[in-house]
Chains A and B, each alone.
Chain A
């Protein structure tokens, strides 16, 4: 009888062990890519796992299931914002999360207005609304947004060159005389998807300010494609 109880106990222990081992090793059915189940990204100081919804019957029902919005203003955008700015997809974002966001050399920017951002955002993003980038170069909010991108204001010794004069009357390239882009981060901008003009506006405004185009990236798919693929979205804290 004692031996039977001991055998039963042993069976239960082995059951727990086997289940915990196989559970931990079980891969997701709906992976990000063939070789990647998920990526982790830092969001507001916390580690967040970005994965896909595992329910293969899941369908969108929220705002991003909507197919049609009035155009203009919600018109379909070309693949590129600017010939010099690279357009990226989801896999490049996963790489960006694991490299540039992790080592601090890049920023993932939700360029939408706060009303959109607060409904849900891509983990790892900071909210810099596109409106801030078209402000006057003296605007402190623009300076604050620029500093998040690693850009600082130049010293007062720049002088009154022909370029700065042209900038002042709106005929120059913009803020090239105002901003120091030597430590500019790689900035990956996104908004609501191919029908959204918010991140293209932000990128165009930054180009006008003199931001190096090779350090700007455009995720055209935006929240629309992120949602279609069932990728993790989070509601930011207030």
Chain B
């Protein structure tokens, strides 16, 4: 009986063992595909642990001035109130700030600075 079990174990290890280590062609395929992959908007963690740009709510990019004003009106009503009091020239400066920074904090600072300079 024991020699029968040993025989089964030997056959098992010989026939199944190598298969478990066999080179998987699937691996070659997926690794080849991975070489070309890029992940949209993947961010690195900065020193504070936050994904860069993820702490402040991101704002849409490439809006025209009407779209930008609508964004302020709908999402940043406080900023919009003071933006509305600015001259046309100052409004253009704020819009330029939006185009260059896409960052609501710097846009807010710009509005405040222009508002307080008059």
Complex: how many Å from CA A60 to CA B12?
49
Q: Considering the complex, which residues of chain B in the window 32-75 have a beta carbon less than 8 Å from any beta carbon of chain A?
A: 33-45, 49-51, 54-55, 57-62, 74-75
Per-residue CB contact flags for chain A residues 46-73 toward chain B (1 = under 8 Å, else 0) read: 1111010111110011111100011001
| Contact A73-B30, Cβ < 8 Å, known A12-B115, A18-B78 | yes
Complex: how many Å from CA A113 to CA B25?
14
Q: Considering the complex, which residues of chain B in the window 83-118 have a beta carbon less than 8 Å from any beta carbon of chain A?
A: 104, 108, 111-112, 115-116
Q: Which residue of B lies closest to A17 (CB)?
A: B78
The answer to the question of B5 belonging to the interface, with a C-beta cut-off of 8 Å to chain A, is: yes
Contacts of B29 in A (CB 8 A): 70, 73-74
Contact partner of A23 (CB less than 8 A), chosen from B13, B25, B78, is B78
Q: How far is the CB of A35 from chain B (nearest CB, A)?
A: 17
Contacts of A63 in B (CB 8 A): 36-39
Contact partner of B108 (CB less than 8 A), chosen from A19, A29, A74, is A19
Q: How far is the CB of A182 from chain B (nearest CB, A)?
A: 26
B54 and A119 within 8 A (CB): no
What number of B residues sit within 8 Å (CB to CB) of A? 54
A23 and B108 within 8 A (CB): yes
The answer to the question of A116 belonging to the interface, with a C-beta cut-off of 8 Å to chain B, is: yes
Complex: how many Å from CA A51 to CA B41?
12
Q: Which of A83-91, A92-100, A211-219, A229-237 is the contact stretch?
A: A229-237
Complex: how many Å from CA A16 to CA B54?
23
Contacts of B12 in A (CB 8 A): 168-170
Contacts of B78 in A (CB 8 A): 15, 18-23
Given A15-B78, A234-B42; 6 other pairs, CB 8 A cutoff: A22-B76, A45-B49, A74-B29, A119-B42, A227-B39, A233-B40
Q: 4 tightest CB-CB pairs across the interface, nearest first?
A: A46-B49, A120-B39, A169-B12, A120-B42
30 A–B contacts from the bound complex (CB under 8 Å): A8-B116, A12-B112, A12-B115, A15-B112, A22-B79, A26-B57, A43-B45, A44-B45, A46-B45, A49-B55, A51-B54, A54-B57, A55-B60, A55-B61, A57-B60, A63-B37, A112-B30, A113-B27, A116-B30, A119-B34, A123-B51, A165-B8, A169-B8, A198-B30, A233-B40, A233-B41, A233-B42, A233-B43, A235-B42, A237-B44
